Amino acid sequence: MSNILIIKHGSLGDIAQASGAIQDISDFHKNDKVFLLTSRPYIDLFKQNPYLTGTILDKRLSRFNLIYLFSLMRKLKKYKFTKIFDLQNSSRSSFYKKILFPNAGNLIWSSSETTLPKSKSKDEFDKNPVLNRFKHQLETSGVKTNKTMLPDFNWACSNIENLKKKFDLNKYIVLFPFCSSHLTIKKWPYYNELISLIKKKFGDEYKIVVAPGPEEIDMTKEINAISILNENKSLNIQELASLIKDSTFVISNDTGPAHMTSHLDAKGVALFGSHTTAYKVSIERENFKAIQVTDLKKLSPEKVFEYVMKSLN
């Protein structure tokens, strides 16, 4: 029995996307112990992942913090990992490779760099859809991929019956109208207009709710929807996953919750502008689609409502 390491620090959408790859790695190494190196926001979440033996916290402090770096590397070396799957594929994880396995190929250290097709540069390869890149990486490293292209995030759900009872949630539509302050290009500006169209058509048949992150709670005052909080705090990832899973429909900007919705196999739509494409981020599934436009400001609430109507009917 050997110890296997997977590296995945975040973000939320990336965590959901990596669920299938993690399952494939675990299934392939079913006689080994599989650990995950991740960051603080996801450490508790991954403790309930059934495909992992354990989790290791990476505080992701500065690389110039030599005391921390030495401590982390010493901890990792104690596990005597025989293989590492770098699903983060970042400059940080590449830096770790230089310390732990500087000369390792893809059979010891699996990353997008060690499995890069000879005919492509890294920049060219990174233009491929995320899940396709995972599939290539794992298969080049000898792992069979049965779940990588169809991630299942249902393992992240928890029981929220008390929360649903508190807010009287039966049939409800979840909106994710916010985005990071430095990524406002992802933000569709017409959620209130869409809410009015939904209420005009369906009345009180569906509750319209939002589930804000910690920095978004004050912003919910701008949206004509019920703000779902747990004891005045944002839902944790497990609660959020369950809220999405049990919803009638989800409408979202290109954010982490949109990717969660896709890989929970919940119904919904993501709104994409020119910042990227739904194809590149591998977000579309049978029940979850994208509306792609060049300028989100020119995407009318009527067009989005038309799509919602078709899905609800």
SS (H, E, C) 57-76: ECCCCCCCCHHHHHHHHHHH
Class of domain 3-152: alpha beta
For residue 310, with 0-12 CB atoms within 10 Å meaning exposed, 13-18 middle and 19 or more buried, which class applies? Answer: exposed
Count the Cβ atoms, other than its own, within 10 Å of residue 145.
21
**C-alpha separations of 260 from 89, 212, 263, 309 in Å:** 20, 15, 5, 22
The pLDDT of residue 170: 95
- The pTM is what? 0.94
Residue pair 305/197 in contact (Cβ under 8 Å)? The answer is yes
CATH superfamily of 156-312: Glycogen Phosphorylase B; (3.40.50.2000)
pLDDT at 209: 98
**Which pLDDT belongs to residue 108?**
97
pLDDT digits (tens, 9 = 90+) for 11-26: 999 999 999 999 999 9
What angle, rounded to 10 degrees, do the helices at 91-100 and 66-78 form?
60
Helix pair angle (256-263, 237-245), 10° resolution = 60
**Domain spans of the chain, in order of start:** 3-152, 156-312
Tell me: the pLDDT tens digits for 76-135?
999 999 999 999 999 999 999 999 999 999 999 999 999 999 888 988 999 999 999 999
Q: pLDDT band at residue 56, thresholds of 50, 70 and 90?
A: very high
Sign, Cα dihedral of 72, 77, 78, 84: positive
Residue 182's pLDDT is 75
Question: pLDDT tens-digit profile of 231-283?
Answer: 999 999 999 999 999 999 999 999 999 999 999 999 999 999 999 999 999 99
Q: Is 103 helix (H, G, I), strand (E, B) or coil?
A: coil
* Cβ within 8 Å of residue 165, ≥6 positions away: none
Return the sign of the alpha-carbon dihedral for residues 122, 288, 153, 229.
positive
With a pLDDT cut of 70, the percent of the chain lying above it is 100
User: What SS3 class is residue 119?
Assistant: coil
Mean pLDDT of 38-65: 97
CA gap 56, 54 in Å, rounded = 7
**Percent of residues in the chain assigned helix, strand, coil, to nearest 5:** 40, 15, 45
The pLDDT assigned to 313 comes to: 79
Q: Which are the contacts of 307, defined by CB distance < 8 A and separation ≥ 6? A: 269, 289, 291
At 153, list the tokens: 């995030």
pLDDT over threshold 90, residue 312:
no
Tell me whether domains 3-152 and 156-312 share a fold.
yes
The model's pLDDT over 163-213, given as tens digits with 9 standing for 90+, comes to 999 999 999 999 999 987 777 889 999 999 999 999 999 999 999 999 999
The answer for residues whose C-beta is within 8 angstroms of residue 310's C-beta and 6 or more apart is none
